[in-house]
Amino acid sequence: MSAPPRSSPGSLPLSRLAEPLLRRLSELLDRAAPGKGWRDLAQRAGSRGRVRLSSLDLEQCSLKVLEPEGSPSWSLLKLLGDRGCTVVELVEFLQALEHTEALQCLSHSGVKIVVQPDSQAVLPGQVVKLCCWATGHPFVHYQWFKQEKEVPHGNSPELVLNPVKLNDSGFYICRVNNESSFVFSRWARLEVCDLQDMSHDLQEQSHDRPFATDKVALLIGNMSYWNHPQLKAPMVDVYELTNLLRQLDFKVVSLLDLTESEMRNAVNEFLLLLDKGVYGLLYYAGHGYENYGNSFMVPIDAPNPYRSANCLCVQNVLKLMQEKETGLNVFLLDMCRKRNEFDDTILILDALKVTANIVFGYATCQGAEAFEIQQSGLANGIFMKFLKERLLEDKKITVLLDEVAEDMGKCHLTKGKQALEIRSSLSEKRALTDAIQQTVSSAESLARNLQWAKAHELPESMYLEFKCGVQIQLGFAAEFSNVMIIYTRIVKKPPEIVVCRAYVTDFALDLDVDPKEANKGTPEETGSYLVSKDLPKHCLYTRLSSLQKLKEHLIFTVCLHYEYPGIEETMDERKEVNVGKPLIAKLGLHHGFKNNSCLQTCCVANNPFHKQVESSPVTTKYYLPSHHRPNSCPGVYHPNTVCSDSMRQPEACSCNGTSSMLTSRHKVQNYSSPVERSNIPIETTDDTVELEFLLSDSLRFSKQQ
């Protein structure tokens, strides 16, 4: 199979490189180490006859340092571009200087494919869509190829074959380019065959390694609780897990701080992506509890104290996932599983199916809490700290989690206090690394995947021209599926203007943007610690969270303040910007509960008797130190037995008798109501306490329920 013709971008004139890329190169050359700066580049370039530089040229470049925002490197690159220097020549000069950072900047100049085309096996007459979505500045172009031939009219992100024919079978690839570079998508195989051929192929595949028809993941991290202690680790845990799962070809949606209705609607949207054979992974980090064998995820708006009606039942979500006949259901719960004594509701749930390929990874065992560890201002949950080290390994998922459990068991910080529990009904050797191989795909399934992909589009970078001659770059970056960074930078200023400032303001009230935390000089000042290294420098940054609450288009104002010499009055100009609904805002998660809400159960409230609900045969493994094993099965409530106070608190995996240096995640405190005080247990997170363990010299422990 031969590749399509690749017209190299190296022949592109240097003068046609996008301005943001030239600015970035200028910054790198201006602050380069000796031997790698703009003068060294000029010396290399000057050795070429047609781009020879005079001493006057170098002097003019050098004088740019006297201007407020002048750059000798910018002046040099413009000069080289005007004299016909090409990108490939610039690369040669930089290679001679061994300026690796500038070379990387050129090789990754803004085009990034975020949705790859998937291979498909279909029947003649169906509607087939091959999708390739990319981001780039200022915009990107698409061209589809079938083997080495261009596809007529294949110039959009979606290649639609309607109806598909037998001779459409083959390998397809998409070339995406912008002004300065290009990338190719991965190859997608389209196989159009009749029913007999497909039946034969599927019989042959049954003897091979299992595969997924698709992989989708929903990651939720709740931190900023309205009525409960704040958490720190979910932000980092969700971010790191997102990056790992994307390397395994998962379509990942990562969301921070969801209310009850937002969590339910996010799960409902996630369920729409599940079909037969799909691998579905749901990860939750935040407050949680477990009653009568049912686990509950706590939204950020849950009252204090909360009950099951205010939370999402894990077993109910899993049941809805099973109804989609998924190839693998992985549920990773990074939360506490202590008993919520204030909630006497008993959920009567239908039994889970036997052949469901379920894998539960509980960050801690029943009746115990889960911890988070803090270092250098950021925090990881103990579970994620060890999971991320092994997640990319090509092993059966239960084997991988077994090894994570063993790693956690060696951790001195939580030994005897937190132990991973694995529950599985996995009957096949399925792994997160299994390849994606689509069988018969319906147009509805493709449309749903496309809708989810579109809900992760960022606004295009743009340049705003003001009447005074100032030009501002407005750029956007995604930190999570519902968190976006806006950065602004002045890229052009007339010399007669002595002071110039630009900032963004007037955001929708839905987003609740604090003006004191907007337009900061570093991403960290806005609360964005995770993507700061990927953002351009010398900008003002504003972090917009909770994009799921956006009801209308995102409209804001860019304000420009500037001054002329000798005039005390500050001049102002304003421009309104409309960037549509970015990222997850398109899905409308802010709406009220939908009819297919994932928690519609039969409840028995305040019932002193517990009816044992029959469940599917699931293998349960407890990884507990030998000195801390329970005398009986944890969390078992016998039928027709009164649940007295002495029985409600399982002893298994509790932290009774452990070191006082570890703060307990669940403490019984007095809950103050406006009328009276009563002894209602609520969850709390104490201040972090320094621990002098061998694992780290400055590790801090706190609770991450």
Residue 390 predicted with pLDDT over 80: yes
Catalytic residues: 287, 336
Long-range CB contacts (within 8 A, 24+) of 622-631? 622/365, 622/419, 622/421, 622/652, 622/653, 623/365, 623/405, 623/406, 623/408, 623/409, 623/419, 623/420, 623/421, 624/365, 624/419, 624/652, 624/653, 625/409, 625/415, 625/416, 625/419, 627/416, 628/416, 628/653
Q: Is the pLDDT of residue 677 over 50?
A: no
Confidence (pLDDT) at 198: 53
Quote the pLDDT of residue 195: 59
E-strand ranges in 4-161 read 112-115, 120-122, 128-131, 133-135, 141-146, 149-150, 158-161
Indicate the domain borders of the chain: 9-107, 112-205, 462-581
Own/partner pairs, 569-573, CB within 8 angstroms, 24+ separation: 570/499, 571/468, 573/466, 573/467, 573/468, 573/470
CA neighbours closer than 13 Å in the CB half-sphere of residue 112: 10
Q: What percent of the chain has pLDDT over 70?
A: 74
Specify the range with the lowest mean pLDDT, choosing from 17-21, 88-92, 342-346, 565-569: 17-21
8 falls in which pLDDT band (50, 70, 90)? very low
Integer Cα distance of 106 and 90 in angstroms:
10
Distances in Å between the Cα of 681 and the Cα atoms of 212, 305, 418, 661, 666 are 44, 8, 21, 22, 8
Residue 38 corresponds to which tokens in the numbers above? 């703009």
Residue 274 DSSP SS3: coil
Decide: helix, strand or coil at residue 695. coil
Band (pLDDT 50/70/90 cuts) for residue 398 is: very high
pLDDT at position 159: 92
pLDDT value, residue 617: 42
State pLDDT tens for residues 515-524. Answer: 888 999 998 8
Pick 346 or 24 by higher pLDDT: 24
Decide if domain 112-205 falls under CATH 1.10.287.130.
no
**How many CB atoms lie under 10 A from the CB of residue 617?**
7
- Rounded Cα distance between 382 and 335, Å, is 11
Which pLDDT value is given to residue 139?
Answer: 64
| Residue 342: per-residue pLDDT | 84
Asked if the domains 112-205 and 462-581 are classified in one and the same CATH topology, the answer is yes
What is residue 214's three-state secondary structure? strand
Q: Is the pLDDT of residue 561 over 70?
A: yes
Structure tokens at 303: 């009252």
pLDDT of amino acid 482? 92
Mean pLDDT of 614-640: 34
Higher pLDDT, 619 or 682: 619
Least confident range from 19-28, 127-136, 394-403, 682-691: namely: 682-691
Q: Tally the C-alpha atoms within 13 A of residue 143's C-alpha that lie toward its C-beta.
A: 13
Q: What is the pLDDT of residues 138-197, one digit of tens each?
A: 567 889 999 878 898 888 888 999 888 888 998 999 988 876 667 888 888 898 876 555
H-helix segments, 63-180 = 72-82, 87-97, 100-107
pLDDT value, residue 641: 29
Rank 32-36, 471-475, 525-529 by mean pLDDT and report only the highest.
471-475
When mean pLDDT is compared across 64-68, 124-128, 256-260, 650-654, the lowest value belongs to 650-654
This model's pTM is above 0.75:
no
Class in CATH terms, 462-581: mainly beta
Select the more confidently predicted residue: 610 or 69.
69
Q: 38-46 and 19-30 helices cross at what angle (nearest 10)? A: 110
Q: What's the pLDDT tens digit per position in 529-557?
A: 888 777 888 899 999 999 999 988 999 99
What is residue 598's predicted lDDT score, i.e. its pLDDT? Answer: 44
Q: Which residues pair with 422 in a beta bridge?
A: 361, 621
- Residue 486: pLDDT band (50, 70, 90) is very high
Residue 263 has pLDDT above 60, yes or no: yes
Note the pLDDT of residue 671: 30
DSSP 269: H
Q: Give residue-wise pLDDT tens across range 106-136.
A: 765 567 787 888 888 888 888 888 988 887 6
Task: Give the residue, 659 or 186, on which the prediction is more confident.
Answer: 186
Helix (H, G, I), strand (E, B) or coil at 635: coil
Lowest mean pLDDT among 27-31, 296-300, 348-352: 348-352
**358-362 and 294-297 as β-strands: parallel, antiparallel, unpaired?**
unpaired
At 204 the pLDDT is 52
- According to the model, what pLDDT value does residue 654 have? 27
pLDDT of residue 48: 65
130-134, 261-265, 576-580: the lowest-pLDDT one: 130-134
How does residue 685 score in pLDDT terms, banded at 50, 70 and 90? very low
Q: How confident is the model at residue 356 (pLDDT cuts 50, 70, 90)?
A: low
Choose among 704, 75, 147, 650: nearest CA to 383: 704
Q: Give the amino acid at 274.
A: L
What average pLDDT does range 404-433 have in this prediction? Answer: 85
- Average the pLDDT over each of 167-176, 422-431, 695-704 and give the range with the smallest value: 695-704
Greater confidence, 465 or 3? 465
What pLDDT, on the 0 to 100 scale, is given for residue 380? 78
What are the CA-CA distances from residue 20 to residues 10, 136, 177, 489, 530 (Å)?
Answer: 18, 11, 16, 10, 22
The answer to whether the CB of 256 falls within 8 A of the CB of 478 is no
Residue with tokens 């989708």: 216
To the nearest whole number, what is the mean pLDDT of the chain? 75
The mean pLDDT of 653-668, rounded to a whole number, is: 30
Report CA Rg, the chain. 29
Highest mean pLDDT among 46-50, 298-302, 423-427, 495-499: 298-302
Answer with the residue of higher pLDDT: 445 or 572: 572
Q: What is the mean pLDDT of residues 274-299?
A: 91
What pLDDT shows up at residue 62? Answer: 86
Q: What is the 3-state secondary structure (H, E, C) of 424-479?
A: ECCCCCCCCCCCECCCCCCHHHHHHHHHHHHCCCCCCCEEEECCCCCEEEEEEEEE
pLDDT of 341 reads 85
What is the C-alpha separation between 330 and 430, in angstroms, rounded?
11
Strand 120-122 to 188-192 pairing: parallel
**pLDDT surpassing 90 at residue 432:** yes
Residues 299, 548: Cα–Cα separation, whole Å: 14
Higher pLDDT, 379 or 399: 399
With H, G, I as helix, E, B as strand and everything else as coil, classify residue 534: helix
Superfamily (CATH) of domain 9-107: Death Domain, Fas (1.10.533.10)
